[in-house]
Chains A and B, each alone.
Chain A
Amino acid sequence: MNIIVPIKQVPNLTDELEINDEGTDLAHDMVQYVLNEFDEHALEEAVLIKESVGGTVTVIGVDTTGELDGILHLALAKGADKAMKITGDFMPGTPSHVQAQLIADAIRTLAPDIVLTGVQAADDRDGQIGPMLAAHLNLPYVGVVTGVSITDGQAIVHKEYAGGVMAEFIVALPMVVGVQAAHRPPRYAPVSKIRQIAKTARIEALAGVETAQAGSTVRRMFKPEAAGHAEMWDGTPDEIAEKIADLLAEKGLLKRTL
């Protein structure tokens, strides 16, 4: 099974994000880039498929930061067999339309049996990569998927709807899957292993030619103003526990035990 996992670098959302001076984009030089968490699930699902039916997992991304190698090393440590990066004059925050076109151009000749990518990324302002890849490659797509199993050249995928309801589809391979969550939590790669891989890994670099565009122009980027904010309590955990208990008691929400 030839399994391809396209990945995206996204800003680390636990950091404070700043807007550039023009007010039209992030101040990208202030941003730390990490692997999109949904892509991490896609990679896990890919490795689980490989472990179940055999094959190779190739992880591929557009190097928008010059720092993609670190993320590819992480992916190799988590079970990918090969790593590829698309290089060129790309900027951090390269639109999904452009990344999808570059990745589609790169994987078209690789003849994948299945392509697994994250269902979305935090910076998908112009849409998600998965359905775009499927459209470029004329492959079927199912997204918001929480489990894939392969039998007889077909994929059985479970797509999540609201309220815990799932739809089961059978899809002829090759296909593209947008992974919401792997059916097991992504495995942990020890730092020692990532370091070891960083020393020996070969990353195949491909020159990418950008032909797509985002299709829209951001005229203003800003932080949302919260409509309200919680009244904040200070104190130790014990003091805060007392305040919460007092509030609930005051509202008549504590039942007395007999």
Chain B
Amino acid sequence: MSNDIFVLAEHFKGQVADITYEMTGKARQLATALGGQTVGVLLGNDMATLAASIGADRVLYVNDPALTHFNPEAYGRVLHALIQKHNPRVMMIGSTSMGMDLAAALSITTGLPLIAYVTALDVEEGTLVATSQIYGGKIQAEAIPDGEACIISCLAGAFPAEAGRVETGQRAVETIPSPVPLDDLRVRFVQLIEPAGGDVDITQQAILVSIGRGISGAENVELAQELAEALGGAVSASRPVTDAGWLPKTRQVGKSGLTVKPKVYLALGISGAPEHLEGMRNSELIIAINTDPKAPIFDVAHYGATCDMLDLMPALTEAIKARQAA
């Protein structure tokens, strides 16, 4: 085993995803403490420029047409072979839509431990200590891998991306063909499907009235729309609302939706799961209404109140209209 810290570089539509920089920054710190190198692992096709932009000591660039688009099976096979060959101390993978297809499977195929949903990662006297955020963000668990090598899946936003963008160290890009055959894949990428156009772009709104589970039913969405109209903003939502089909997917804020940064974010009936907070925590002014005083949304909100959003919405629409007419 080496003391090298491997980072799976994630990319989408020709761009390196932020999670990559977040992880390479942290990897550098770990590599320094453990006396290893940082190694960026990039899987793609015709991406030499991208390979050169990854701030690691070395970049292993696996160039193969089968890797043009993310394919969980192809990625899984290649990463398995690379881990077997290089025996890194730590394999860092994002806890993202792509990374969540890979890390747990690799843990089984390589026999390496996996610590998931990691928000803090340090070396204490030569031992890796990883903190997972679990139970909907309500609990943190600080754990030590059994044995030295392990896979770590890192939550987006856990580490600063700036640290990974810094261009330090000597970067050598080693371009290699796929170490395993990729011509018999059972998973075949067909196409990317863009969200239906024509809807409001919630990332461009100054004011968002964002609704969660507390909206209780499709029939109440109109109350939020009236409030958003009075404010000159738009209605957005947390995942349960779009999953239920009460609003289109294009209105979803959070991990699998959009990241927003409006002047005002009114969080109504949203408990504040980590996946949601990830998409809105940098809003300029956050006002949260939730019946549960312990809802995590109050930890990121500037102002809050515990009342029923269904009572509040019409009252607030009236109060806004009264001030605008005055």
Contacts and interface: CB of A to CB of B under 8 A. Distances in A.
Interface string B219-259: 00000000000011000000100011100011010011111
B101 A230 contact: no
B324 A254 contact: yes
A19 B139 CA distance: 9
Interface string B94-119: 00111011111111110011111100
Interface stretch (A51-59, A66-74, A177-185, A189-197): A177-185
B86 interface: no
Contact of B303 (A169, A222, A231): A231
How many residues of A sit at the interface, in one of the four size bands?
Answer: 35 or more
Interface stretch (B21-29, B55-63, B309-317): B309-317
Interface string A159-172: 11111111111111
Contact of A253 (B207, B243, B321): B207
B150 interface: yes
A197 B258 CA distance: 41
Contacts of A236: 307
B157 interface: no
Nearest to B151: A127
Interface string B253-280: 0011111000110100000000000000
Nearest to B108: A135
Nearest to B111: A215
B135 A219 contact: no
A185 B243 contact: yes
A125 B134 CA distance: 6
A26 to B, nearest CB: 7
Given A141-B105, A248-B264, A160 B117 contact: no
A102 to B, nearest CB: 13
A17 interface: yes
Interface in A240-258: 240-245, 247-249, 251, 253-257
B143 A131 contact: no
B101 A140 contact: no
A167 B192 contact: yes
Given A17-B138, A235-B305, A165 B107 contact: no
B192 A253 contact: no
B303 A233 contact: yes
A176 B44 CA distance: 24
Contact of A126 (B76, B113, B289, B319): B113
A160 B256 contact: yes
A178 B99 CA distance: 13
B244 to A, nearest CB: 5
Contacts of B135: 11, 13, 17, 26, 122-123
Interface stretch (B46-54, B67-75, B168-176): B67-75
B113 A215 contact: yes
Given A124-B117, A135-B109, A242 B319 contact: yes
B139 A222 contact: yes
**Majority SS at the chain A contact face:** mixed
Contacts of A136: 108
Contacts of B116: 124-128
A236 B306 CA distance: 9
A217 interface: yes
Residue with the greatest number of chain A CB neighbours at <10 A, chosen from B96, B114, B140, B263: B114
Nearest to B264: A253
Given A228-B299, A241-B318, 15 more contacts: A17-B138, A126-B113, A131-B101, A141-B76, A144-B256, A159-B97, A169-B189, A215-B114, A237-B307, A242-B319, A243-B303, A243-B305, A253-B264, A255-B232, A257-B321
Interface of B: 12, 69-73, 76, 96-98, 100-109, 112-117, 129-130, 132-147, 150, 153, 185-195, 206-207, 231-232, 239, 243-245, 249-250, 252, 255-259, 263-264, 266, 285-289, 292-294, 296, 298-308, 311-312, 315-316, 318-325
Interface of A: 11, 13-14, 16-17, 19, 26, 41, 96-97, 100, 119-120, 122-132, 134-136, 140-144, 156, 158-172, 175, 178, 180-181, 184-185, 213-224, 226-238, 240-245, 247-249, 251, 253-257
26 contacts: A96-B104, A122-B135, A125-B143, A128-B116, A131-B101, A141-B105, A160-B97, A161-B12, A162-B97, A167-B69, A167-B191, A213-B146, A215-B146, A217-B144, A221-B142, A230-B298, A230-B299, A230-B303, A232-B293, A233-B305, A241-B318, A241-B319, A243-B303, A245-B316, A248-B320, A253-B207
